[in-house]
């Protein structure tokens, strides 16, 4: 079977406004909100690096400068921590700047995810690349991206990550019609619809925020008209690719993900994510968990805010 060129670059769109977390996101990018003590976006970059992608391009927008600062050196802070002999914190501060080779390009106008990905064209060139959306976090013990890159290198085309959800959730996502292949967790995509009403969804399989795209996607995005919400949708461009033969850069596969995914894009899920991460931290859990158990026990019949 043909082997296709390897994926080396990751594209991370971070230009969204983060209105769901206002006022916290008035002057701070939503991607910088901490999951315990690390910004959500750092987990995403770490995931790319763990999959071997050290070239990371962020598609940013206005008021996202603190993301660039976070992945850059902070000499004064490093000096102060070194002077105090605080090696642990020093290491944690240096880690984000040593992680990957970071690049940034601005998406001038908010014209949708497809448009954000199109902004990566010049940097990526004629190579397959990964796209990681910041609102979705994949547990580091579940190597989804590595599996997707493996599928791409053997079968070519593009690859999306899929997860099965309850029917009442499909209208918030891109939804796929799928066809089995001879690999249990790999399917062929036959249709894609961006955020369909529940009764028009082709299945319960939604796209979660991980993609491996053939570079042909750029040409397709360039001529993709605005879709759902008046925005240029990556989902629509992928549907065009799904209908093209693999020799022309077409064909889209799905990898069924059954691992742990954390959504940090809305308040309920964000809170759950923070609690789950704290529960697994050896430095915090011994004190935090007994408190949490007690809190739940005391408030079993209603939260402190309810009367
Ligand atoms: C985007 C995509 C959608 C996908 C989702 C995953 O939507 O357009 O197809 O299912 O990410 O999180 P957004 O959440 O940016 O509205």
| Residue minimizing CA distance to atom 15 of ligand 1 | 113
Average pLDDT over residues 230-236: 97
Please state whether the peptide bond connecting residue 23 to the residue before it is cis, i.e. omega within 30 degrees of 0: yes
Residue 247 structure tokens: 């020799």
Work out the pLDDT band at 303, boundaries 50, 70, 90.
low
The DSSP annotation for 182-196 comes to: SSTTEEEEEEEEES-
Pocket of ligand 1, beta carbon within 6 A: 113, 133, 135-136, 173-174, 194, 206-209, 233-235
Residues in the chain: 307
In angstroms, the CA 149 to CA 19 distance is 32
206 CA from centroid of ligand 1 (Å): 9
End-to-end CA distance of the chain: 65
User: What is residue 125's three-state secondary structure?
Assistant: coil
What CATH code would you report for 9-265? 3.90.550.10
Site to probe by mutation for ligand 1, drawn from 13, 15, 174, 213 as the one with most ligand atoms within 8 Å of Cβ, is 174
d(CA 127, CA 131): 13
Helix ranges (DSSP H) in the chain: 40-50, 65-70, 75-84, 87-98, 113-118, 121-124, 144-155, 216-222, 234-242, 267-279, 285-298
The residue whose CA has the least distance to atom 11 of ligand 1 is 209
What pLDDT is stored for residue 3 in this prediction?
78
pLDDT in tens, 10-57: 999 998 888 899 999 999 999 999 999 999 999 999 999 999 999 999
Q: Residue 234 Cα, ligand 1 centroid: separation in angstroms?
A: 9
Where do the domains of the chain lie? 9-265, 267-307
Question: Ligand 1 centroid to 32 CA: how many Å?
Answer: 19
């Amino acid at each position: 079977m043909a082997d296709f060129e390897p994926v080396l670059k990751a594209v991370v769109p971070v230009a969204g406004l983060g209105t769901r977390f206002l006022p916290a996101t008035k002057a701070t990018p939503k991607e910088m909100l901490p999951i315990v003590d690390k910004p959500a976006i750092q987990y995403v970059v770490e995931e790319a690096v763990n999959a071997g992608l050290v070239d990371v391009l962020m598609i940013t927008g206005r008021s996202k400068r603190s993301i660039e600062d976070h992945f850059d050196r902070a000499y004064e802070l490093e000096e102060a921590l070194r002077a105090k002999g605080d090696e642990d914190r020093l290491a944690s501060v240096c880690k984000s700047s040593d992680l990957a080779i970071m690049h940034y390009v601005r998406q001038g106008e908010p014209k949708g995810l497809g448009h954000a990905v199109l902004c990566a064209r010049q940097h990526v060139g004629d190579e397959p690349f990964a796209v990681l959306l910041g609102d979705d976090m994949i547990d580091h013990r579940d190597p989804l991206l590595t599996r997707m890159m493996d599928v791409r290198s053997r079968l070519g085309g593009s690859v999306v990550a899929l997860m099965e959800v309850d029917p009442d959730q499909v209208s918030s996502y891109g939804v796929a019609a799928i066809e089995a292949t001879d690999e249990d967790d790999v399917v062929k995509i036959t249709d894609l619809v961006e955020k369909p009403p529940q009764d028009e969804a082709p299945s319960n399989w939604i796209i979660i925020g991980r993609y491996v795209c053939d570079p042909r996607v750029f040409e397709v995005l360039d001529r993709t008209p605005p879709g759902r919400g008046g925005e240029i949708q990556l989902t629509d461009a992928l549907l065009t690719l799904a209908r093209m033969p693999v020799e022309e850069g077409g064909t889209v596969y799905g990898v069924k993900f059954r691992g742990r995914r954390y959504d940090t894009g809305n308040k309920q899920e964000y809170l759950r994510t923070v609690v789950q991460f704290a529960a697994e931290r050896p430095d915090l859990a011994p004190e935090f968990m007994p408190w949490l158990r007690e809190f739940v026990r005391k408030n079993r019949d209603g939260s402190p805010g309810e009367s």
